[in-house]
Amino acid sequence: MTERPSAPNGPLIPMDGDPMPALTPAALRAAVAQIAPALLPSFVEHLDRAVEQAATQSTIAPLRTFLRWWGEFVAIERCPARAARLRELEAVAEGAMDREALRSALAEMRQITDLAQREISA
């Protein structure tokens, strides 16, 4: 099915040659199980809430939100260097003492999340 690449900073889950797993609960669950198994209970809880909200509200919007949220998570976390840089930037933003440092950190964080969004939209 999937293999970890030999390069330490390469993608952790190139699913059968695809750059990203499909945006389906099953594919994302498998990806989360591989890259962040401790978060599987959160994934399942979020999915259950999304299904319940979708049924209650008679709309698939909560399911779409769920899929995009976890898709972005997988897109970021499957690349260790990208995930580490995002965590560094979050720490910088949290401790920023001036506006320029904060603005710079937020801009780079936005680039990372925009890239993840492009990957899940491809």
In this prediction, residue 1 carries a pLDDT of 33
Give Cβ neighbours of residue 117 (< 8 Å, ≥ 6 apart). 68, 72, 75
- What does the buried/exposed string (b/e) look like for 5-34 if buried means 16 or more CB atoms within 10 Å of the residue's CB? eeeeeebbbbbeeeebbebebebbbbbbeb
* pLDDT tens, position by position, 80-115: 999 999 999 999 999 999 999 999 999 999 999 999
Checking if the pLDDT of 3 tops 60, the result is: no
